[in-house]
Amino acid sequence: MFFPLDEFASVLAPESVSCLVIAGSAMRTYAVVLLFAFVAVFAAAPRASAQQLWSADDSSGILFVSDAGTETRWFELPRVQLLAFRDEWYAPSHVLAQSQPAGPAAPSEEPLILPPQAGTMTAPTADVDAANPDQTEEIPGIVAQVPAAEPEKKEEDKPAIPDLAKGILIASNDGDLTFKPGLRIQPRYMYESGNDNHDFFIRRFRLKGGGSAYDVAKYGVELKIDNDGRFAATPSARVENAWLDFPVHTDLMYLRAGLYDVPFSRDALTSDSKLLFMDRTLIKEEVTGVGMADNGIGLMLHGRPYSGYLEYAVGIFDNVTFERFGVAGTRESDKLMPVGRVVVSLLDPMTPLDGYADYQESYIGKGQRLEIGANAAHLSEVIDGAALFDLSAWGVDLFANSGHYTFQTEYDQIIENISGAADIIADGWYVQAGYLFDVCDPCTEFAVRYQELDPIVGNDTLRWTSIGFNFYIREHNLKIQTDYTFRSDTVGVPLPGGLGLFDEDVFEVQLQLDF
């Protein structure tokens, strides 16, 4: 039984096989030469190339075919077909040099290829001089082109902080549904000089998760319990985040719906896991007290156009602070609250482009930033007891970091525009800075902050000064924070956010795990 040349050669590609040809009349006589030539050629060139070995004469021969230098098969063929195979399937570029047969080939009357006669062999690997990738190795009767060795694959750099939780992927015909769980715990020790109180408690506990929903939207969920075990505190579980984020125009505009951070105050928009100090500022807590910062329920458009050098967020929210009616008093507004924020970055762009509320108060020596932000909010027809007023707030902030240094400042003002009476204005500001002593991980950072608040309730101005140190074990994922705060002046009533009312000093130490 015979096989046509085109059927045999159609399974062979010149760029993926190596060919060794031996022709001669006395096949048994050339057995030793055949074996020697095969070992020499395939040891020198295990990869794709063309090698030929010619004997002096005769019409029959053997074709050796190697697929990329790993497996070799041999076939008994007439000399004419060997030459035809060489001319048709191997371009001249594959052969750098060639020893021609000593005499003219005897014509063959066999128009077809003889069937295969034997099995397979494996060729050894050759050592190649990497400095000369186009070298040619020539042996009498044997020509081999030796390709350059493949460069060694370098191991990918492992991230500085490996993921502490693996995501869950659920595949479907409608797209992937992913979920990545997260956790935050902040055990804290506090000493308050005003009442000589020593306290251990869990300042914050978070269970969170997020991912993508069917390749259509992102989502985030978070449950919190704060101040568990704290003196005079009554902790309870509540929803902190529950939102969906849809791309309207990739990298330019996204639509977010649900419960999330209102776009007001850089301090409020920074996760409490990435603060320079353990707690946020007095003015942030004052704005949160009237429902214009922190978490709210609503609809918002946001984006970071111009490759992240501009950030905007504008939305409309239900201010749940003014949805109370009963014996404790009425605080109510039936109106929705528009809120907007814009930020300009003058150095490194803000990333990712679909991000939101992902600021850090310390980037731990990474990047160079100079970001200026402004925000405003308004709620009309507010009822607070017997008072009827419109409520407005506005603020500006600035953040900068470069190398070892971090700087942030912010000013916010709240205005109660009371019908038939003088306006009530509360305002506050802070300035804080940090200095990183060495390169993480681990590393130590010194921090200092001064802040003032003229609150809505009370006539005194609060002035607090804090100094502290941050010990980053695995950046913000695992760290220890400590600070000492000198609290001066008192307003006579508890402040929003559980900040106390004493003219006292406070020392705190906190351990954080967050992922």
pLDDT at 96: 37
pLDDT along the chain (515 residues), means of 10: 42 42 42 44 44 50 55 61 58 40 47 44 43 44 46 51 57 77 97 92 97 94 95 91 96 97 98 97 96 96 97 97 76 94 98 95 96 98 89 98 97 93 93 92 94 87 95 96 88 55 86 97
First to last CA, the chain: 70
DSSP output for 288-303: HHTTSSSEEEEEEEEE
What would the two tokens of residue 86 be? 């060489």
pTM over 0.75: no
- Measure the CA–CA gap between 267 and 224, rounded to whole angstroms: 19
Give the chain's radius of gyration (CA, Å).
Answer: 38
Please say whether the beta carbons of 85 and 94 come within 8 A: no
DSSP H helices, 45-107, are: 79-89
Q: Kindly list the distances between the CA atom of residue 189 and the CA atoms of 129, 197, 232, 477, in Å, as whole numbers in the listed order.
A: 65, 11, 15, 19
Exposed, middle or buried: residue 410 (CB in 10 Å: 0-12, 13-18, 19+)? Answer: buried
Q: Residue 492: what pLDDT?
A: 56
Distance CA 212, CA 301 (A): 18
**Which helix H or strand E contains 44, and what residues bound it?**
helix 31-44
Identify the residue whose tokens are 């902050």: 449
Note the maximum CA span of the chain: 120
The span from the CA of 201 to the CA of 189, in Å, is 7
Question: DSSP secondary-structure letter at 363?
Answer: -
Spatial separation of the C-alpha atoms in residues 48 and 145, rounded to whole Å: 9
